Structure 1
């Protein structure tokens, strides 16, 4: 089929057609009569059309909700709606213009003014023997959360105020661990005070706001506002893989730290949290040749294009748009964005924006991962608090695909 024929059958925008091609759901090849155009496999197009329009069995529909379907759990924390990401009804992009991560935490954790003011630890914990930072931010985060998971109380049956206070301590510990800033000198901490907060905002930790602590650890104080924006935009994004993992753990009554550890471990996978490393490879390929060839070569391997496209945002990731408006255009990033849209119909997502921010500010290579993990921990904790209130075990059923019962037969 030509593009026009495929679009007519699918009743979708061109970007959606190209996205299905890039994900390997619809096969395509160059048009022999015009190499600038493509032809699309008719069987694949018709199969996609049937999936969109046909009625399917309940168990199949239910299983597909686990893969970017309708939400599988009721939540009032965040949602992707009309091309926007909303935190309890507030546009995340607008919050990023002025809010701190602490203010967003107070919003998502449903703190009133008095609770917010008393939320954050009043002093840095002294460095303990064995607290030396491991070799990477990932390892440091895993270790810090694992240590707390072994000793923290279960979450079930505890007062909401106690859980919020513990949530703040967990986030504080994670920031310390991932920046290697355990035991920051008090005088040095006071040398970089946090910006004054609004009356209902939580007081900043003793070492300054989280964005200030990251900026200081990275020696990027001049770029603290960009770091703050990125953290706010990363705070939550519905029931993604890490958030769902955190909620499952908390539904058993596990401690908040254990739930955070469950969420954090999902970031070790290349499909969630690993986009920055893959995008770095794409950047290297673009530098070695050019952006068009790099994208073409990547797509030829039937791999999802890292840092481009997002199933929740057909018209572009609003988090990326909110951050990119504050950043300059840098090559080969800009050329890759053009090539990705032309060849795959995909627009930059937040992973692209975090990588561009890192390049512009001269941040460490691990900065995109740290910004993702620290910001998202706020959302994980919000979902943990909500799951404690639900007081329900999350236990989906499996759709069995093995053999029927075998009677009177040995194993061997």
Structure 2
């Protein structure tokens, strides 16, 4: 995540200062005070580069399409969630406020537009601990056998979404079905005192616009695939290190900081030209609101507190949701991959919501490729 000085931004844009300031006032370029000199501002590099890449005049449709699929540009219309002015909303409701008292099941009802409470019925799983591999296997077993999603009513899809969520929950949060999903996870990990922060985290992670895993899930849904196949697609994408697998980077940073000190660890990352894991987020120039909503409810371990202070001072960014999830796992001594387990269970709700919304549109998502390979044979 890169912030530029006014001089750097003007060189890239090739414009005058007035034009830069006008783009900031119109919301095209995000800005924040320079931590080293509050009289000056820094400008969000992604926004500046995006504007710099645009050329005046009419562009070919394929150029517009190629630009639209890059990170941060709108791709599809959705009524489910949005990040606006540093806040996350689910169907118009503030996610941070919802996390104060709502459960993941409540958010599922909201995102799925349910007219009744969620029903997660079934047998009590006897599995000893949550296993991501079991979720993959269960979804893979269902995917070719369930009904395709196209041509079915909203009520039928909602009922199947409940069943698919139950399949994932039984793999990741095995336990009695009269308990909420956060309670099931906490009990399975033998940490009942962690239930409330886990609940808050899952509410905050339920959906997040068209992130990589959600876009993958929507593409799958657009082909009319089963809802279980949609979740399998989303779950596969989530495991990548640039997405839900980011907890590994945080774990490495914490290990380094434990060995050499927080400030020294941050300095080491920066000296090697590496971005600091779990600090900053392109959609939240002033700090990830999800982390800000979760961290006050976690007694931050000393090494995390030191890293948080060092990162904010030396990088000028706040810890994001990956940082908060890793702190949650550390303070309650949860399994190392607990952040991914929490993330996957929560985001299953969002993937299913997007699948149902996509199916309703009846459109196949099919971008074109701009060929840049060897010359074609004649």
TM-score normalised by length of structure 2: 0.85
8 Å CA contact 2:231–2:351 kept in 1: the answer is yes
How big is each residue's C-alpha offset from its partner over 1:8-59, in whole Å with a ceiling of 9 and x where there is no partner?
Answer: 76757776999xxxxxxxxxxxxxxxxx99xxxxxxx999856534533454
1:198 corresponds to: none
Which structure is larger by alpha-carbon Rg, 1 or 2?
A: 1
Of 165, 175, 185 in structure 2, the residue corresponding to residue 171 of structure 1 is 165
2:330 corresponds to: 359
Cα 1:151–1:340 change in 2 (3 A) is same
1:105 corresponds to: 108
Of 60, 81, 84 in structure 2, the residue corresponding to residue 78 of structure 1 is 81
Question: Could you tell me how far apart the structure 1 residues matched to 2:69 and 2:187 are?
Answer: 40
Cα 1:48–1:318 change in 2 (3 A) is closer
Q: Name whichever of 63-72 and 154-163 sits farther off.
A: 63-72
1:123 Cα deviation from its structure 2 partner: 3.1
Question: Could you tell me how far apart the structure 1 residues matched to 2:346 and 2:273 are?
Answer: 31
8 Å CA contact 1:320–1:348 kept in 2: the answer is yes
Which aligned pairs between 1:154-233 and structure 2 lie closer than 5 A? 154-179=148-173, 181=174, 184=175, 189=176, 206-233=177-204
1:299 aligns with 2:282: no
Structure 1 segments unaligned to the other structure (5+ residues): 19-35, 38-44, 190-205, 408-412
Aligned length: 350
How big is each residue's C-alpha offset from its partner over 1:295-342, in whole Å with a ceiling of 9 and x where there is no partner?
Answer: 222233333322111111111111000001212232211221222223
1:67 corresponds to: 70
8 Å CA contact 2:224–2:359 kept in 1: the answer is yes
Cα 1:343–1:7 change in 2 (3 A) is farther
8 Å CA contact 2:121–2:166 kept in 1: the answer is no
8 Å CA contact 1:83–1:318 kept in 2: the answer is yes
8 Å CA contact 2:239–2:340 kept in 1: the answer is no
Question: Could you tell me how far apart the structure 2 residues matched to 1:357 and 1:73 are?
Answer: 33
Cα 1:327–1:380 change in 2 (3 A) is same
Cα 1:339–1:13 change in 2 (3 A) is farther
2:17 corresponds to: none
Secondary structure, counterpart of 1:150 in structure 2: coil
Structure 2 segments unaligned to the other structure (5+ residues): 13-19, 21-28, 38-43
Question: Could you tell me how far apart the structure 2 residues matched to 1:152 and 1:138 are?
Answer: 21
Question: Could you tell me how far apart the structure 2 residues matched to 1:100 and 1:13 are?
Answer: 33
After superposing on structure 2, the runs of 4+ consecutive aligned residues of structure 1 that deviate more than 4 Å are: 7-18, 45-51
Secondary structure, counterpart of 1:85 in structure 2: strand
Of 401, 409, 412 in structure 1, the residue corresponding to residue 372 of structure 2 is 401
1:60 Cα deviation from its structure 2 partner: 4.1
Which aligned pairs between 1:233-382 and structure 2 lie closer than 5 A? 233-382=204-353
